[in-house]
């Protein structure tokens, strides 16, 4: 049988690694997950923005029943590292061509 994770959680008090070593609190971390609505409120972002990023697979989320749970730590990391490319003419008025 193939192991999915390197840790085998057998309860918080006696969790062990595959090697049988006892895990400390630093080794065992449960991700902070929130619904799309809660995530949007927490970060002050539009609901449709979070939903679009989840649907496109750009941020880490899992489906729990009928709703998605977003990993808010990974979202914060995504927002910190995501850059917006600025064109050289951004902010200037550009003429449009008429037919």
Residue 6 domain-assigned (yes or no): no
Q: pTM for the complete prediction?
A: 0.56
Do the domain assignments include residue 73? yes
For the stretch 6-46, pLDDT in tens is 444 444 455 555 666 666 656 667 889 999 999 999 999 99
Q: How far apart are CA 99 and CA 91, in angstroms?
A: 24
Q: By residue range, what is the domain housing residue 45?
A: 33-82
pLDDT value, residue 81:
87
Q: How far apart are CA 55 and CA 71, in angstroms?
A: 14
CB atoms within 10 A of CB 53: 21
Percent of the chain with pLDDT over 90: 42
Q: Higher pLDDT residue, 44 or 81?
A: 44
User: Distance between CA atoms of 16 and 6, rounded to whole angstroms?
Assistant: 10
28 is a domain residue: no
Confidence (pLDDT) at 72: 94
* pLDDT exceeds 90 at position 70: yes
How many separate domains does the chain show?
1
Task: Note whether residue 8 is domain-resident.
Answer: no
């Amino acid at each position: 049988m193939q192991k999915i994770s390197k840790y085998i959680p057998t309860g918080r008090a006696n969790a062990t690694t595959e090697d049988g070593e006892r895990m400390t609190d630093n080794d065992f971390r449960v991700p902070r997950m929130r619904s799309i609505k809660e995530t949007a409120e927490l970060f002050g972002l539009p609901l449709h923005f979070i939903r679009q990023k989840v649907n496109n697979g750009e941020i880490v989320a899992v489906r729990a029943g009928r709703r998605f749970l977003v990993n808010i730590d990974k979202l914060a990391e995504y927002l910190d590292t995501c850059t917006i490319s600025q064109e050289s003419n951004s902010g200037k008025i550009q003429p449009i061509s008429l037919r």
